[in-house]
A = this chain, B = another copy of it.
């Protein structure tokens, strides 16, 4: 029987600013990437989000980012690897404290936004992220991009000694080489819920994705990234989960099967 994890970025509210439908999406996902207060999130939001994840049996992960609340961590910053390493140790530690408070363990780390994209492209950054995780807790999983382009990031995570979890995006178009089509391209983001749900199923059950040129590309996947920023997005997650389970795919936290 096939098994898959559904992860989503949550805990991105800040002070008076509310972002996302965390209370809704948390019901359908199995792993939560929780912002750590640098690009989004704050201590009260972290507390509330970890508590909510625990209540729903959802695995808790850290979602650290660049020190750029104004840019939501989406802009690359030319930080040194020493900077990045220490920024991640700090953020992971902060979230781990809330895990202790709520009697759970921190399961995984997934870098956010521009930091994730830079780690995909740049091996020094990929290594800094992996070493930060390793230095705080060698049992933490490192969520990294599935497909050809993610190989660098994944290999470095494994070299450093971490368990690496392969992540794919059912609502994103892929090239024949198994890379994400750039968001600048038309059709990069797929919006039809039926199509996305079927892609999720193909990824989870067959380890395959249909590329933009119609070819079928093999892709090892252990977690699917889904979104909960709008009511529509939440409906999509609900649909994905229903389609997966209806077809016999078991949906559970990465921590239980990777």
Binding site for B on A (CB under 8 A): 14-17, 19, 37, 40, 42-44, 46-47, 67-72, 74-79, 82-83, 86-87, 89-98, 100-101, 114, 135-137
Contact = CB atoms under 8 A, between A and B. Distances in A.
27 contacts: A14-B69, A14-B70, A15-B69, A15-B70, A16-B40, A16-B72, A17-B19, A43-B86, A43-B90, A44-B82, A46-B86, A46-B90, A47-B86, A47-B89, A67-B68, A67-B70, A71-B83, A75-B77, A77-B77, A78-B114, A90-B94, A90-B97, A92-B97, A93-B95, A93-B100, A96-B96, A100-B135
Contacts of A96: 93, 96-97
Given A93-B98, A101-B135, 17 more contacts: A14-B17, A14-B70, A15-B71, A37-B90, A43-B83, A67-B68, A67-B70, A75-B78, A75-B79, A76-B78, A77-B78, A89-B101, A90-B94, A93-B97, A94-B94, A96-B97, A100-B136
For the complex of A and B, the 10 pairs showing the least CB-CB separation, nearest first, are: A93-B97, A43-B86, A17-B17, A16-B72, A43-B90, A76-B78, A94-B94, A75-B78, A101-B135, A93-B94
A233 to B, nearest CB: 15
B46 A137 contact: no
Contacts of A83: 43-44, 71
A42 to B, nearest CB: 6
> How many copies of this kind of chain does the complex include?
4
A168 B87 CA distance: 34
A92 B94 CA distance: 7
Nearest to A88: B43
A67 B95 CA distance: 17
Of A42, A43, A74, A98, chain B has the most CB atoms within 10 Å of the CB of A43
Nearest to A100: B136
A37 B91 CA distance: 11
